[in-house]
Structure 1
Amino acid sequence: MSELLKNVCFKYQKSVSENPNVIGQVETGFRLLSYIVAGRFQDSQIISELMYSASNLLVLMNDAILKGTSKIEQILPLSIERLMRYLTIIEYIEVFVEITALRMSGSIGRWVVILVIQIAKAAFRLILLTRYNAGIQPTPPITPLNRESIIAESRSGHQSTTTDDTISSDQLVPEMTFKLTRSGRSIRKLEATPAMHLRKWNLPVENKSSKERHTILTPTVLDRQRIWAEGIHIIKPLIHLATLYKCGQASWKPWLLSCGFDISSLCMMGEPFDLNSNEKGELRRRTFMLLFYLLRSPFFDRFSQAKIIFMLKILADNIPGISLLIRPFIEYLPQWQKCYFYTWSS
């Protein structure tokens, strides 16, 4: 039985390393299916979240396989990356675990699970910060690999072994953009389009070094003020839960305290000029996440809910075709807002 399992694992690893584009399409299709299933039948929310969590875990596993087969340079120590991987897995499954606990154990079991998950996440992050100097930690800690760059590197490496040694591998990487004849404007080629989770409006930068293309960069050493700022960000969920337990879900104190912690943490970080690209992106994400306070109770219940639904209905009624997306979202919004890890995860 063990030999059969090893053989199956070996064949799967080989198929992933040889067909990363096909595997990526399967992952995307699996994730899209989780959106389609949501709200279609009874218990569809649990099945949808199970499929979504499974798709994220599948991406994480396949990225690990590709990273091993492509022989990417190990920048971080294995102990740090192992903790980051555990933390990433927790963040991928936390919504599914919360919904399942609510169905199986009721409200008390749900809040016990939420507390345990938040304690585990805070413990892992504090260990990374204080013991391993992991710096500003993104959410999730391990982001998906840029598989297009890995494919380009493997192809250029393969071609460089079969061509003259005077030809550099950078010359063998295909161009990612082309210029329009009249305007001279640069446009991204279709074959250079990255995966959905990596897409952005900026033009791709060609011939980056292998180290610059990694999703895990060497963390910046933080000074004392930034360490305190990151510590405030890490312990904020625990303080919010404690205040929520003492004051109740209808109280403004947990909302105000959490918002104050987030703003204080960002202000204490200062200007991000000396941070790497991943850390700058994480600070931008945290700044954007301040908008989530519009969707968090009690502000959502008392002020923003009616206005948001009103605006969404106007869009659905006046823009052809968009109602197919907005109306299911309007119906799902109250359920989405009630899930703790949807709105208060970070």
Structure 2
Amino acid sequence: MEAYKRWVRRNKEYVHSLESLANGMTWLLPERFSESEIVPEAVTSILGIVTAVNDHIIETTPSQGHPKPQEPSSFPYSLFLTLMKDVETLVEVMAQHFYGDDGKWNFMAVTEATKVLARLALLRNSGYKMLLQGGESINDGKDPNDTNQPQARGRLLQQGRNGNFTPEGRALSAMSRFGENARMINNSTGFHMVVPHNINNPAIIQLPESDIKRPTLLSFLSDKGLPGGLMLMGEIMFIARPLLYVLLIRKYGPRSWLPWFISLTIDLMGMSSSTMLLTRHFDRKLHLSDSEKDELRRRKLLLALYLMRDPCFGKYTRQRLESTEKMLEPVPVVGFLAAKLIELLVGAQTRYTYMSGS
């Protein structure tokens, strides 16, 4: 395993390219979006797990004799959530195959409940910082591009300290992360690095982030006041919304408007609570990093997925897609590509996990 870790760390660009190629080719497997999709989806899940493990190895690459801490906790919640994202579609396909369209929602509820518990634990262990990419990226609370910070200055003085890349999502599963860059740079280090006055001195004082005392809920709310309460309320709504959505679908069915409206309402309320932090009045009390502002933009873009969820898709979106396909059909090449894209969208829409936004 140690030899494999060294190989991955030395050839990370090659590994990323190979993983992207393999993940893209899974969409060419036969019987995609058919009744016998278990085997193709299992292949895709295995590739996703390998990708997540490789990224975890790269992110924990030791630097200058010091290991990079992974998270502010002993359990790798970010890796766990990434693995959950990789296997949840396989769980849905198998549940639908063996238990039917109605029975699969029990398994989806268990999956979403597991992610809720992991995200709540990560939220607590991170000191109630905003979750990035649903908890799959570690939020160090710093602006990676801010060269005025000691940590950033320390990175500029060191060669070979590269950013960590999140894995490129598969073609349509990326819709569940709508607005996410295919390969975002996440410069999350676990050390507060102080650059000495004499830059010729190679010694760098490093304080492990794990030694920093994490605030409790009461101390966080007491310190951050109303802005902290609004941020926390927005995070809890963002975390709990998918589970409530699945439970409502399980009770009322996917064709009912009630789960759709309640889910949208929770998202809008949570979004309003979080975006209030961008005002100048609140920004003085709770400063948001660039990565946190990008996360708020990503969550706004996720609202577009409501157009792809039933019953809105069946009553409105699908008709618009079909009319667009007919309009572009006479155009050479463009008509063919549009038809294939719409066919892929319609097929992906049948999977809850592709459109869940969780």
Q: Is TM more than 0.5 here?
A: yes
Contact 2:168 2:183 (C-alpha < 8 Å) held by counterparts: no
Task: Label 1:169 to 1:305 Cα distance change in 2 as closer, same or farther (>3 A).
Answer: closer
Matches within 5 A, 1:28-107: 28-37=20-29, 39=31, 45-71=37-63, 73-74=68-69, 76-79=71-74, 82-107=76-101
Secondary structure, aligned partner of 1:78: coil
Task: Label 1:313 to 1:14 Cα distance change in 2 as closer, same or farther (>3 A).
Answer: farther
In the TM superposition, what whole-angstrom CA distance separates every residue of 1:169-203 from its partner, at most 9, and x where no partner exists? 75978xxxxxxxxxxxxxxxxxxxx986796899x
Letter in 1 for 2:339: R
Letter in 1 for 2:109: L
* Structure 2 residue aligned with 1:116: 110
In the TM superposition, what whole-angstrom CA distance separates every residue of 1:228-272 from its partner, at most 9, and x where no partner exists? 111112111222223223333222111111111101101011144
Task: Label 1:63 to 1:244 Cα distance change in 2 as closer, same or farther (>3 A).
Answer: closer
Secondary structure, aligned partner of 1:102: helix
Matches within 5 A, 1:132-281: 132-143=126-137, 213-214=187-188, 223-269=228-274, 270-272=276-278, 274-281=287-294
Contact 1:91 1:140 (C-alpha < 8 Å) held by counterparts: no
Aligned length: 286
Letter in 2 for 1:103: H
Structure 1 CA distance, aligned partners of 2:33 and 2:244? 37
Contact 2:60 2:68 (C-alpha < 8 Å) held by counterparts: no
Q: Does 1:18 align with 2:10?
A: yes
1:32 Cα deviation (Å)?
Answer: 1.3
Output the aligned Cα RMSD. Answer: 3.6
Which structure carries more relative contact order (alpha carbon 8 Å, separation 6+)?
Answer: 2
Letter in 2 for 1:342: Y
Contact 2:133 2:295 (C-alpha < 8 Å) held by counterparts: yes
In the TM superposition, what whole-angstrom CA distance separates every residue of 1:1-56 from its partner, at most 9, and x where no partner exists? xxxxxxxx233223212222222221111111112225569667434433333333
Structure 1 CA distance, aligned partners of 2:24 and 2:254? 33
Letter in 1 for 2:303: L
Letter in 1 for 2:340: P
* Structure 2 residue aligned with 1:336: 348
Structure 2 CA distance, aligned partners of 1:43 and 1:224? 46
1:122 Cα deviation (Å)?
Answer: 1.0
After TM superposition, the score normalised by the length of structure 2 is 0.68
Secondary structure, aligned partner of 1:307: helix
Contact 1:143 1:215 (C-alpha < 8 Å) held by counterparts: no
Letter in 2 for 1:87: L
Secondary structure, aligned partner of 1:69: coil
* Structure 2 residue aligned with 1:286: 299
The unaligned stretches of length 5 or more in structure 2 are 139-154, 161-165, 170-179, 192-208
Moved more, 97-106 or 219-228: 219-228
Q: Percent identity?
A: 25
